Amino acid sequence: MPKPDFGFSFAPNRALELSVPLLPEVQAVLEAEPSIRACMACGQCAAVCTAGVFTPLAFYRLVLQLWAGEVEVVGQRAQHCMLCGKCQMTCPRGVNIRNALLLMAALLPPKP
Amino acid sequence: MRSSEYINKDEVAIIGGGPAGMQTALVLSARGFSVRIYEQKEQLGGHLKGWHHLFPHGVAASDLLGALKEQVLARAIPLHLGQTVDHLQKVGEGWELWQGETVVGRAGVVVLANGFALFDARRKEEYGYGLYPSVLTSADLEAVFRKERPWPFGPDCAAPQIGFVHCVGSRDLKCGSPHCSKLCCVTAVKQAMAVKAFFPEAQVYCFYMDLRMHGLEYEELYRKAQVDYGVRFIRGRLSEAAPGQGKRLHVKAEDTLQGRPLHLQLDMLVLMSGMVPTFVLEQQERAVFFKEPVFGSGFVPVQGFLAAGSVVQQKGLFASGACKGPATLPEVFADAAAVACEVEQYLKSLKAVAHA
Ligand SMILES: Cc1cc2nc3c(=O)[nH]c(=O)nc-3n(C[C@H](O)[C@H](O)[C@H](O)COP(=O)(O)OP(=O)(O)OC[C@H]3O[C@@H](n4cnc5c(N)ncnc54)[C@H](O)[C@@H]3O)c2cc1C
Ligand code: SF4
Ligand code: SF4
Ligand code: SF4
């Protein structure tokens, strides 16, 4: 039987909930690489990133998603990094991006 | 042995004949003090003499400079042009001003008004300044407006594509300049509108990280640029400029709001070079040397909160204007008046001690 159409549907809540504490795994990444906090989302890292042209990797976005607790997306997207280090050479805030990406990539459970 | 009598304690020497130096001299002179200006160039004016029109109202830079110079002349303030002071020597309570091996002046009080230098955009190699003729700095573009240099594209190009890059050599630890130069955002807006006025068909893009419209009517100017002039503001950084089609430049950037890389062909790329120190002070017990800045050098350090003009650790040495950090002209003029007041207080305090 087809579902009745009431003219609306439910979607998950998209709002960011800042009142809840950061996830422990997010906190662990920030503690292990405190320079992540210096990121101002300028996008210079993504502007120079070759991997980002063909994949959804954009380091500054992973930082924003990390703060939002989206650890799975962060973990998946970090896999696209080639660790070339171009981003780190140009970052105006001196973020240790490669180490941050290694920590982010480790947010995904290891493949069985 | 030279005694302190050798120096006229009431005399004030001002190092730098830019807006800050001229205004400090004018206020002190109006208050009855004897002042002299030492300027390394053959003309007064500092950076102001290279600008075309001023934000936010578009006043002609030459009008403002003309008015300042006229007042300096009217007050018959002695000018020592073509003299680069490179160090100061303390004698008694006062100072000797040195250029190389010779003393060029003496004074009870010295006011540094040596201004700022423009960040050397060649250091951001990826933007190709000095390599590609269509990459200019904001200062070069002022020279174009002043008809002192040509547009970098031909007259056949009626609808040029033009990009402005904010924060070049500012807010960048890799360049040793962590500070924000504060007025390049509004300068970019001013210049983007001027370019559109020259070439109504032009498409102008500003690549910014944050837009800092801190001053009176700057925000209004920004809105005007968007609505009336059609300037497009893109929040993102350029990764590089390279040769493109024909004489054009190919630039790559990240649009951080879209979250996607972008490519663009441009006829002119303008780098908003930041403001950096002209020299660093090397303070010794009885001397102050002006040295070439090195990586990470800061501006002239001053002390105090209300009294922000006296140089740290040096009695009788003050600093005025953009040598203390990025400042707009209205800020420079207000600061110059405040510094003049501090100098007056200082000279009065010396007299009170002498009479006690
Ligand atoms: C691209 C650009 C556009 C700008 N446009 C505007 C605008 O539209 N409106 C606005 O309000 N502000 C504008 N500004 C800011 C303005 O230029 C500054 O506020 C102003 O020039 C600062 O004045 P100053 O006297 O402190 O320094 P300067 O203008 O740098 O003058 C310093 C003077 O000291 C001299 N000097 C330096 N060292 C020595 C020495 N050792 N011995 C003797 N002399 C020395 C120099 O030759 C110079 O003449 C702009 C700045 C830039 C970079
Ligand atoms: S370049 Fe550095 S400061 Fe800029 S977005 Fe990337 S990590 Fe953040
Ligand atoms: S290190 Fe990774 S994120 Fe950085 S530029 Fe290279 S591929 Fe991109
Ligand atoms: S004023 Fe604007 S362009 Fe200049 S350094 Fe600050 S943020 Fe960058």
Binary contact (A90, B126; C-beta < 8 A): yes
Tell me whether A93 touches chain B (CB under 8 Å): yes
Q: Are B31 and B327 in contact (CB under 8 A)?
A: no
Partners of A101 in beta bridges: none
Question: In this structure, is residue B207 part of a structural domain?
Answer: yes
**What's the CATH code of the domain at B334?**
3.50.50.60
How many angstroms separate the alpha carbon of residue A76 from the centre of ligand 4? 34
Of B236, B256, B275, the last residue of a domain is B275
pTM score:
0.94
Comparing CA positions, the residue from A42, A17, A30 lying closest to residue A104 is A30
Q: What is the pLDDT of residues B101-112, one digit of tens each?
A: 999 999 999 999
Query: Nearest residue CA, atom 2 of ligand 1?
Result: B139
Tell me whether A85 touches chain B (CB under 8 Å): no
pLDDT tier for residue B285 given thresholds of 50, 70 and 90:
confident
pLDDT at B287: 96
Find where tokens 């008004």 sit: B113
Mean of pLDDT values over B252-263:
96
Q: Is the dihedral of CA B21, B27, B30, B35 positive or negative?
A: negative
In this structure, of A17-21, B58-62, B159-163, the range with the lowest mean pLDDT score is A17-21
Q: Which domain holds residue B145?
A: 121-275
Mean of pLDDT values over B287-314:
88
* B291 and B322 housed in the same domain: yes
Number of domains in chain B: 2
Q: Rounded mean pLDDT of chain B?
A: 95
Instruction: Report whether pLDDT(B3) > 60.
Output: no
* B131 and B258 housed in the same domain: yes
* B29 and B66 housed in the same domain: yes
Residue in B172, B173, B237 nearest the CB of A47: B237
Q: What is the pLDDT of residues A82-102, one digit of tens each?
A: 999 999 999 999 999 999 999
Q: What 3-state class would DSSP assign to B271?
A: strand
Tell me whether B238 touches chain A (CB under 8 Å): yes
Query: Nearest residue CA, atom 3 of ligand 2?
Result: A39
Query: Nearest residue CA, atom 4 of ligand 3?
Result: A87
pLDDT tier for residue B1 given thresholds of 50, 70 and 90:
very low
Q: What is the pLDDT of residues A73-87, one digit of tens each?
A: 999 999 999 999 999
List the alpha helices (DSSP H) in chain B. 19-30, 61-74, 138-145, 184-198, 218-227, 329-355
* B27 and B125 housed in the same domain: no
Binary contact (B172, A47; C-beta < 8 A): no
Task: For residue A63, count CB atoms less than 10 angstroms from its CB and return exposed for 0-12, middle for 13-18, buried for 19 or more.
Answer: buried
How many angstroms separate the alpha carbon of residue B237 from the centre of ligand 4? 13
Q: What is the DSSP letter of A37?
A: G
Which residues are CB-contacts of B65 (< 8 A; sequence separation ≥ 6)? Answer: B44, B45, B48, B49
Of B221, B241, B275, the last residue of a domain is B275
- Is the shortest distance between the CB of B277 and ligand 1 below 6 Å? no
pLDDT tier for residue A24 given thresholds of 50, 70 and 90:
very high
pLDDT at B350: 87
* B214 and B126 housed in the same domain: yes
Percent of chain B with pLDDT over 70: 97
Tell me whether B236 touches chain A (CB under 8 Å): yes
